């Protein structure tokens, strides 16, 4: 009888451990799937944003995308970008984007004074136009590409 009760305890312990392993595996898979979907969504928005910026400003040499943020509202997405122009001017600012935008002149300039903020806006204003050439893009996940 003692052997039988030990066997039952062993089987119960085995069942509990199996359930814990299955639960942990399921949680891991859902997190992995969620991360993959977020990366795909970010890439879709990033490619769309780069196209919109190329349609908005001339002389873009490189765009670096940082800190993407998805809002709870469907279609709302934002990030920080650094845009380097062919004339060696670089500007870093926050921007909102929607997939429907063909151009994007929005932005939240970063500066300590109104003068700094106005200076950044004037850099963008003097580059209004269209970039036809292929540019270097540094995506938020660390990958680089051309667009």
pLDDT of residue 1: 52
Q: What percentage of the chain reaches a pLDDT higher than 70?
A: 92
Q: Is residue 97 a part of any domain in this protein?
A: yes
Question: Does 120 map to a domain?
Answer: yes
Look over the chain and give the mean of its residue pLDDT values, rounded to a whole number: 90
Tell me which of 53 and 30 has the higher pLDDT.
Answer: 53
Q: What is the mean pLDDT of residues 77-105?
A: 96
Asked whether residue 14 is domain-assigned, the answer is: no
Looking at the domain assignment, is residue 121 inside a domain? yes
- Torsions phi, psi of 8, nearest 5? -65, -40
In a domain, 27, yes or no: no
Mean pLDDT, to the nearest integer, of 91-100? 95
Q: Is residue 49 part of a domain?
A: yes
5-14, 19-28, 136-145, range with greatest mean pLDDT: 136-145
State the pLDDT at residue 33.
Answer: 63
Question: How confident is the model over 119-136, as pLDDT tens digits?
Answer: 999 999 999 999 999 999
> Residues 128, 130, 134, 140: is their CA dihedral positive or negative?
positive
Strands (E), the chain: 60-70, 77-85, 90-97, 108-109, 136-138, 144-146
Asked if residue 77 is part of any domain, the answer here is yes
- Average of pLDDT values for 62-77? 85
Looking at residue 72, what is its pLDDT? Answer: 65
**For residue 73, what are the domain limits?**
36-146
pLDDT of 13 > 90? The answer is no
Residue 2 is assigned to a structural domain of this protein: no
pTM: 0.77
Q: What is the mean pLDDT of residues 66-70?
A: 91
pLDDT confidence of residue 50 = 98
For residue 106, give the nearest of 70, 53, 58 by alpha carbon: 53
What is the spatial distance between Cα 134 and Cα 116, in angstroms, rounded to a whole number? Answer: 30
**Structural domains of the chain, count:** 1
């Amino acid at each position: 009888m003692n052997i039988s009760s030990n066997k039952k305890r062993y089987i119960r312990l085995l069942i509990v451990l199996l359930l814990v392993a299955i639960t942990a595996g399921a949680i891991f898979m859902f997190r992995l799937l969620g991360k993959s979907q977020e990366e795909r969504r970010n890439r879709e928005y990033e490619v769309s944003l780069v196209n919109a910026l190329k349609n908005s400003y001339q002389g873009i040499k490189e765009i670096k995308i940082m800190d993407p943020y998805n809002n709870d509202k469907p279609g709302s997405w934002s990030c920080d970008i650094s845009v380097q122009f062919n004339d060696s001017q670089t500007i870093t600012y926050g921007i909102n984007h929607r997939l429907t935008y063909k151009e994007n002149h929005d932005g939240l300039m970063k500066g300590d004074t109104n003068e700094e903020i106005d200076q950044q806006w004037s850099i963008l204003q003097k580059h209004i136009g269209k970039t036809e050439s292929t540019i270097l893009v540094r995506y938020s996940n660390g990958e680089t590409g051309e667009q």
